Chain A
Amino acid sequence: MNWIVFAASLAAVIVLAGVAWSLKLGGPDACIATPEGACQTADDALTGFAATASVVGADGRAALVVDKAGRVAVLKAHGARVAAREVVWSDVRATDAGVVVETRDRRFGAVRLKDVDALAVRRLAPQLTEV
């Protein structure tokens, strides 16, 4: 590799990324369409997880899922895909803007379920601790 190849490669990176944006690749922003879809995604993403119920944020970009053994998962839209983390109930809290879930993973970040209130979370898993 010489400087010309490097410069050309860098230009190609920028051009291709620009093409991806201009073609509007990635699809719609709301990628968690239904509670059933959220359950399936959690089951697929976490070993041994057997989802029983979920609640999806109003913007379709986050969801909270519980399984029959009391495990809890949070999902968030990650680009055009969905990423999951197992969390503990004590990291789920209600705010004015919706429920916020801390993942204890700085890069993954906290996840906000838009317009989901504490009542919806209690309905999700009444047997678990209060939010």
Chain B
Amino acid sequence: MNKPVTPQSVGLSREDLPNSYIGRSVPRSNVRKLVQGRATYTDDVSLPRLVHAAFVRSPHPHARILSIDVSGATAMPGVVRVFTGADLAKVCDPWVATLAHLKGMKSAPQHPLPLERATWQGEAVVAIVADSVAHAEDAAGEVIIDWEPLPAQADMETALDAGAVVIHPELGDNLVFTRTADTGEVPAAFAAADHVLEATFHTGRHTGVTLEARSIIADYNSADGTLTVHQSTQAPHMMQGVFAKQLRMNEGDVRVICKDVGGSYGIKVHVYPDEVAVAAMSRILGRPVKFIADRFESFVSDIHARDHRITGKIAVMNDGRIVGFDIEDLTGIGPYSVYPRTSAIEGNQVVNLCGGPYDFKHYRCSTTVVLQNKAPTCQYRAVGHPIATTVTEGLVDLAAEALGMDPITIRRLNLMRDDAYPCNSPAGMKFEGLSHHASLDKLLAMVPVERLRAEQAEGRTRGVYRGLGFASFIELTNPSPFMYGIGGARISAQDGCTVRMDPDGSLVALSGVTEQGQGTEAILAQIVAHGVGVDLKKVKIITGDTQVTPYGGGTWACRGAGIGGEAALQAAIALKDQILGVAAIMLQTEAEALDVVMGHVVERTTGTSRLSLAELGRLVYFRGDTLPKDMPREFVQTRHFITKEYPFAFTNGIQASWLEVDVETGLVTLLEHWVVEDCGRVINPMLVDEQVRGGVVQGIGGALYEHCIYDDTGQLLTTTMADYMVPMAAEMPDIHVDHVETPTKESLLGAKGAGEAGTAGAPAAVMNAINDALSPFKAKVFAQPFTPDRILRALKRY
């Protein structure tokens, strides 16, 4: 039993063996309920005495609340109660979203409903609880708020100026956080370089647009003092802690249940004041309160992201070697840093990740994070990566152009060598093992570069402008406590899994990571089936219930497979050891002589079945009287896993985009897209591929269409899906995906994250392809989204 367990000894690459599920494209068992309309999203849950909440939201980006008259609303049909900020403050404490390791970071206390001022258009100010959504919304129209509009600080560019509106006077200014990474000799190195290229990039504020809007039912039971929350969330345990802390309850008295989640992408891992308000209202009313955001509310109150302006410089030598990067990032995050992850992480990631794929010496990168009167921003899929990749890859292409060098050649020359690991990046990131060159090789085997270049040249003679763009990237996955925990946030970096065998030999695995469609439950089932040695159909996975599953962080930052998967594998292997131990006693042999294969205890050498798990279960659970008295009876094991050697498991990859720009209309037509990425051990290729494709499409959305547009006064103009455009099927190209596998040695499973790679690289690949297409005109675009208007302006068509 004490032999070292290795990936080889547990057969992680034995794809051809009948009981190996690792690396196999098996369908997700939980898709069938989705296609039959039998899923359970939060809005599908109904409870006795359920009442519904609607919110009155601020029409002003910044305004003082002089008075609130709720008498008319209270008298409306079906209304149970109307709540103001002061009402909720009696039972709910405010929170401040800062992290101690982000030195000097500051933000203001935030209440579920504000007490004195609204600080962004769309901030929930008054809540109505009624017997139906319609009645609550009817009554919301009758609330009279006497507003004193205040000057708004909408523009992040002037947020630190002398005349700026200081949004929270007690903070002194609008500076939330600033950090610079500096290797020390950037000015001298740049002065000595043969070429320095510069550009200013805008990544464009956008948001996640989960098709299922934010959804919550809070059910406070005053009889036993418990709060049960049904919530569409990525992090049930974190939310359990948040509700307990803010409502002054014991964590054990709060249960968060999360069944099916209709999209998340980072949007549903944050604390939203209106959702905390729902919990507080249920605490007061002692009955269940439901709130389902409508689409307008989603646009004005879901977190936004990527509102960055970045000025970047790259220094290169004549031989193409990159000397260094010098980058300044500015980001506006709205009026509050978002709890508990904070809104400084995205800027911090830009500092960590710029230049990431390349071998160079000199680096200076600063981020400045400021407050403004717009919707709060926070972590959205691929946090900071698309920004850093766009800046890095945009600058690399500028350098290539200045040197007259092919974009592939300059990358080949400068990408970190595949034998260079472990090593640190100039930004201080620790890399365990990456595969930039192997990924580039694989990409070039897929992309018919010569044919496309010939097509491009031929097209230009006919006025058809096509472009090919590349983007290498790194991605931060499997985060350790270095991401949030060390800063004081109660966000678990470890995750747990309990695996048990039931009497019929079937397995139940309970996991702290969660499912939002990525396939978490499917890959956990594959891992458990493989780890124990049973048919996949014999495994049931349970996630999303804090009262049932082991404590864990949930699913975010690409940790479901890498962290949750490893916990499941360790628990499964431990259960298998238990099974073999018991079977050995019953069969009067040594455990080492036995194995478990497809639900049977077999002789290791011959594969002959000695005992089915169903028979083993029957005997142990029901005929314990026939077994030796001192024989252990447990068929259940729990393991937790946390990364220890590296703060993050970095992954890498490269993308290519082939597209056409209509220089008369400015329209971009995507023709084809390729991705090679290295997420370590691939557990289910089909799921990973479609995760990558979905990520690419979200990245394309930000690159071409998606934009939260505000007017100068801070009014959001894009509040319907007709105004805020997301990618549609007809606009998307076929996306070819392949993998290089460099398993992390931190875990037996070796899996790293895959869900953000697509989003990390796609905008840069598209930008570089557009600029390649426009190269005959010496026109370039650097401001996302790359709309027809912006492309025509770059072409000086008007």
Q: Do A and B bind each other?
A: no
> Which residues of A are interface residues toward B (Cβ below 8 A)?
none
> Which residues of B are interface residues toward A (Cβ below 8 A)?
none
